[in-house]
Amino acid sequence: MLEQHALSDEHWNRINVLFPGKVGDPDHTTADNRPLVKGVIFVLKT
């Protein structure tokens, strides 16, 4: 069972490519944007 504001792996795989910070991007700053996205979803839903 998913957390109330969690992203499924399927949803994450669809949007992950849209975020900067992937390996190979200039100025690579983060390895994982998923916590950021989960935080934004939490704020928007509450």
Output the pLDDT for position 40: 87
User: Locate tokens 């700053």: which residue?
Assistant: 29
pLDDT of amino acid 26: 72
Measured between alpha carbons, how far is 23 from 43 in angstroms, rounded to an integer?
Answer: 28
3-state DSSP of the chain: CCCCCCCCHHHHHHHHHHCCCCCCCCCCCCCCCHHHHHHHHHHHHC
**Residue 14 to residue 46: CA distance in whole angstroms:** 24
- The reply to whether the predicted model has a pTM over 0.95 is no
Please write the tens of the pLDDT for every residue from 1-46. 456 667 888 998 899 888 877 666 677 667 788 888 888 888 888 8
